[in-house]
Amino acid sequence: MKTKHASQWFQATVVLFAFLCCQQSKSQSYKLEIVDSVQVDILSSSVRIADVHRETGEILVIQTSPPKLWLLSSKGEIKSTWQRKGLGPGAIGSSLLSAEFYGDGIAMMGSMRVKLFDRNFKLVKSMIPHYASSHVIYEGDNHLIAFEGPNGQELISYFGGPQTEFPPTSREFYNEFNIVDRLNPFGFKGETALARDSVYKPAGKLSEGSRYKNDRTYFMLKSVFDAKNTQLYYAINTDTVLYKLNLHTNKIENRYKIPFDEFFVNDGLSLGKGAYDGQNKPKDREGQIERVFSASGMEVVIYRSGLALAEYQAVVTGSDFLKTYHRKNPAKYLIVKNGKRLNSELQPPKGIRTFDMADDFGYIWAHQNISLLDEEPELITFYKLKIIPDEN
């Protein structure tokens, strides 16, 4: 009888353990869902959210060109507006690439410059990097993010390429490649001094195991990143690995293979001038990581898988290229924790055009896709998305 009771107890324990594992597995499935929206009365269709204040919920909306910025309440009411072209002390240049709440004011980023303003848009400091860049700066990316530095709030920026004079066809380019630039506004004295030295410090680099350090040439590499508190979450746009970097120590604390459903990569081209000729050779359309977000203790990766050569050639030779290309190679998303994919549905919620940024309240902000509407709306709608359990 004793043996029989033990056997029954063991069987019940196994069944209970299996049940709990099943329940735990179910509870670990998540999805992105639109939970709220903010409508804004702005007469421009080419705007995006650059930042959300971590305490007040105020919103910075920017227009790249001509440069314009709106400071909104958390409900989307316009509180103040800044607009100025040119290169004067209170201007940012021909393009406003990003903006960020910083201290008691606002930081704005133009081409190869970051300026700090107070809430009345009076210039406080102008910071120009000590190196020249000939790299492409991609409009629409979040190029400027604040983080908690060892001595107070600092900024990280990205000007389209690493701090190197070497071309991507050389081995030295990948040895000197840095992920972002770290800005320390406290690194120099003076209210409006030009910070050409000592302020823009390289942060992050290609790890020794990176696929880009294999003596091959890779064109059009760019950093895709987010920052929360002291951590930088990043990937290279055509890579398959996501990294978590401590911005205090400049050391990688975690890395994992991104669990893509499908992601085309190329093997690079030969080093030297011959790589330029190799760009025109037929090959698969490689995948692209478009956004990396940190939200609710997880990472969200927005990407396109790419297309096999034959399918891509069919798209190129067909009519209405862009529409067909985006249909064949749609934007997808992953919710990931410790390298494990947690979502079953890859397609973003219907009605999303592009993703902008992730705030400190756990929301990911996105644009409404007005092409799905029957008529042009009078107000611009920004969606707030949240990671929630997927009950299906």
Give the C-alpha separation, 67 to 60, whole Å.
Answer: 13
Task: Tell me the percentage of the chain whose pLDDT exceeds 90.
Answer: 69
Question: What phi and psi, each to the nearest 5 degrees, are found at residue 118?
Answer: -80, -175
pLDDT band of 349, cuts 50, 70, 90: very high
Higher model confidence: residue 131 or residue 374?
A: 131
136, pLDDT greater than 80: no
What pLDDT, on a 0 to 100 scale, did the predictor assign at position 193? 46
Q: What is the pLDDT of residue 173?
A: 96
- Sheet with 231-236, strands from edge to edge, namely 223-228, 231-236, 241-246, 251-257
pLDDT, greater one: 234 or 189: 234
Q: Which residue has the higher pLDDT, 372 or 321?
A: 321
Instruction: Provide the pLDDT confidence category of residue 23 given band limits of 50, 70 and 90.
Output: very low
198 or 3: which carries more pLDDT confidence?
198
Q: Band of the pLDDT at 50, cuts 50, 70, 90?
A: very high
Q: Which stretch of 26-35, 40-49, 129-138, 342-351 has the lowest confidence by average pLDDT?
A: 129-138
Q: Which residue has the tokens 């929301």?
A: 363
Spell out the SS3 assignment of the chain: CHHHHHHHHHHHHHHHHHHHHHHHHHHCCEEEEEEEEEEECCCCCCEEEEEECCCCCCEEEEECCCCEEEEECCCCCEEEEEECCCCCCCCCCCCCCEEEEECCEEEEEECCEEEEECCCCCEEEEECCCCCCCCCCCCCCCCEEEEEECCEEEEEECCCCCCCCCCCCCHHHHHHCEEEEEECHHHCCCCCCECCCCCEEEEEECCCCCCCCCCEECCCCCEEEEEECCEEEEEECCCCEEEEEECCCCEEEEEEECCCCCCCCCCCEECCCHHHHHCCCCCCECCEEEEEEEECCEEEEEEECCECHHHHHHHHHCCCHHHHHHHHCCCEEEEEECCEECCCCCCCCCCEEEEEEECCCCCEEEEECHHHCCCCCCCEEEEEEEEEECCC
Res 43 pLDDT > 90: no
Rounded to whole angstroms, how far apart are CA atoms 137 and 160? 4
What whole-number distance in Å separates Cα of residue 306 and Cα of residue 91? 39
pLDDT tops 70 at residue 14: no
Task: Identify the pLDDT of residue 311.
Answer: 94
Considering 160-164, 289-293, 315-319, the range whose residues carry the highest mean pLDDT is: 289-293
Mean pLDDT of the chain, nearest integer? 88
Q: Contact 51/226 with Cβ under 8 angstroms?
A: no
Q: Across residues 279-290, what is the average pLDDT?
A: 94
- pLDDT digits 0-9 by tens, 57-112: 999 999 999 999 999 999 999 999 999 988 788 899 999 999 999 989 999 999 88
What count of residues does the chain have? 392
